[in-house]
Structures are given as C-alpha cells and as structure tokens.
Amino acid sequence: MQLSRELMLRAYRQMKVIREFEERLHAEIQTGEIAGFTHLYSGQEAVAVGVCEHLTHDDYIISTHRGHGHCIAKGCDVKGMMQEIYGRAGGLCKGKGGSMHIADVDKGMLGANGIVGAGAPIAVGAGISAKLDGKGGVSIAFSGDGACNQGTTFEAMNMAVVLKAPVIFLFENNHYSEHTGVDYAVGTAGDIASRAEAFGMKVWRGNGCDFFETFELMREVIEYCRAGNGPAAVELDTERFFGHFEGDPQRYRGKGELDRIREERDCLTNFRAKVTGAKLLEAADLDALDAEVLTLIDEAVAEARAAPRPSADNVLTDVYVNY
C-alpha cells in the first residue's frame, strides 16, 4: 500500500527522534552525568515505529530494559523521558524509575521493564482488559531474543492462545542477549517464530531494519488481532548499534561487524534512500526534519541538565495510593 506523504514524514521523524535521543545519550553518558545502567535502542527504530504507528492510546505496549525507542514511538514526552534518565524531579517518573522504568500508562505505555521476560504476562492482562472493553484494542509485548527463553514468555503465549486474547508477542531478534549469541541461547537454531507457532498462534517474520516492510507486516498482524482472531507472534530481525549497556566493550562482535551493520542495515539511511530514490519525498524534506529533531534533543538535554533534582523526602511518596 502506498503510504501518505504525511505518514512517511511522521515515521521518519519518529525514527530520527529515537536515533538522536540514543546517539546523544551515548555521548552524554561519557560525561558521567547520567547515573545507572542505560541500554540504547539505536538500530532498532524501524521496529518501534513500524509497530506503534498503527496504535492508538487504547492499545497497550509493554517494553523491556531497552525501552527508550518503544516509549518515544508510543508517544511518551521526549523531554520528560530525558529528565527521567537524568534522574530529575520533573522526569516522567519523578526520577524514581530511571531509564529502565519509563512509563506513561495513560498513553498505553505500560513501562520499560528491568526484569527480562516480565512483560509478556503483563501484556496478556492488558489484552484481556482490551478485549473486555470491546473497542478492538490490542496489547503488544516487546521482547528480545533473550527474553524469549523465559518460562514467563512461554506461559504467557499459551495463556493468550487459550484465552484468545488480542496480544501480539513481538520478538526483536538483534542476535544477542547481553554477550551471548542467539544461536547458542535459543534452542531452535535461533528461530523464535517457529517456537511461538508451536503454541498455536499465527506468526509473521520480517526485516526489522526496513520500516516499510515492518509497517506493512504489522498492518496485517494488528488487523488480524483487532478482528478477534486471538494472539499472534512476530519475529523481526534487527540490529543493535551500541553495546548491551553503555560501557560494554563488545568483544563478542565480529571484526568490522559494527561498521557493517551501520553501513548495510541502518533503517534511517535505508528509508531515505528508498523515498528519495522513488521520488516520494525530497531530501530537503528529510533534512528539515533532521534539523528539527536535533534542536529538540539539544533542548531536551539542556533542559534536563538544568532541571531541579528531586528532594530527599520524595523517597517516601508514591509507594501506595493510601496507607
């Protein structure tokens, strides 16, 4: 299906926001100003955006430790996210969660998550709720190729099938769980989709570095789930451009691997080549978005750095609704 100019511009912009957010964090983390563990999503942008461009606030997603991209794609406020990562009082979660726990439940973003494999069962619950609400909402669990090995993920897949819940198990196969290769850790020779299929659901596979392919595939998957067919699983092949976490020496990578994946599998470069090659968009359109996004991220960082830090008494708030 030919995408509208507006949609293409928006998708490019979203992917670019994620990319610049992450590349900038990569640089800012070197300054030592950002505390904690940060896992960057650079390289996987086409997945988050290719999925979330189909969703509304009535649809749910749950994310992982590598959550910034999913948050941005689902509409979380970029400046509030930056403040959260800087541990500021004005952060999206008041500095209490940090990079691994950014959430905006009102937007259907049920949180990044520090526990690998925790997301899939939670997504089933959100799927049950969406089914009860009867508005055609779906629930999407983003999981990595590592998370697919947790029993929680298996249980969630079976339960979603049994309950015919509108849940999409979205596996981002970036070939690594921390420092371990997918072929070693996933017993089906690295094939995640076939495992999901064995649970009794329909599965799709695609190139997660290609926005157009991911977007079209997700249109089908989401229509299928919205129509009440029960759960589905999707395995998207993608790349992470940085280390597992910031500070990872990445000695497990092959020689030239990082250069090669940035050269051949960059979803933004590929998007640009495709749309300008086919004369769907002008390079100048994209350049203008690039500049706008850079300004946004510059502002987000400057504002986060200047923002007030939480005061000590905030430790005690938000534990309960009332107590």
Partner 1 sequence: MATMQLREAINLTLHQEMERDPNVICLGEDLVGGMGTAGGPEAIGGIWKTTAGLYAKFGADRVIDTPISESAIIGAAAGAALAGKRPVAELMFADFIGVCLDQIWNQMAKFRYMFGGKTTCPAVIRVAYGAGRNAGPQHSQAAYAMMTAIPGLKVVIPSTPAEAKGLLASAIRDDDPVLFFEPKALYATRGEVPEEEYLIPFGHARSVREGEHATIVTCGQLVGTAEKAADTLAKEGIGCDLLDLRTTSPLDEEAILDSVETTGRLIVVDENPPRCGLAADIAGLVANKAFAALRAPIQLVTPPHTPVPFAPELEQAYMPSTAKIEAAVRAALNYR
Ligand X SMILES: Cc1ncc(C[n+]2csc(CCOP(=O)(O)OP(=O)(O)O)c2C)c(N)n1
User: Which residues bind to Mg ion, rule: CB under 5 A?
Assistant: 144-145, 174, 176-177
CA-based nearest residue to 290, from 12, 78, 84, 49: 12
The nearest distance, CB 313 to partner 1, in angstroms, is 8
User: Cβ neighbours of residue 303 under 8 Å, at least 6 residues apart?
Assistant: 79, 82, 83
Q: x-or-dash pattern for partner 1, window 4-43, by CB under 8 A? A: -------------------------------xxx------
Question: Which of 169/176 has CB closer to ligand X?
Answer: 176
Per CB under 8 A, the list member of 182, 225, 275, 300 interacting with partner 1 is: 182
* Token representation of residue 222: 């989401």
Numbers of helices and strands, H then E, in the chain: 12, 7
Other Cβ atoms less than 10 A from the Cβ of 144: the count is: 27
Residue at 299: amino acid letter = E
Among the residue ranges 166-174, 200-208, 218-226, 315-323, the one whose residues contact partner 1 (CB under 8 A): 315-323
Which CB sits closer to ligand X, 253 or 305?
A: 253
Using CB under 8 A as the binding rule, the residues of this chain from 66 to 85 that contact partner 1 are none
- Residue 134 or residue 254: which is nearer to ligand X going by CB? 254
265: region left, alpha or beta (phi > 0 left; psi from -120 to 50 alpha): alpha
- Which of 12, 21, 171, 176 touches partner 1 by CB under 8 A? 176
Q: Tell me how far apart the alpha carbons of residues 17 and 20 are, in angstroms, rounded to a whole number.
A: 5
C-beta closer to Mg ion: residue 144 or 231: 144
**By CB under 8 A, is residue 96 in contact with partner 1?**
yes
Tell me the three state secondary structure of residue 26.
Answer: helix
Provide the minimum distance between the beta carbon of 317 and partner 1 in the complex, in angstroms, as a whole number.
9
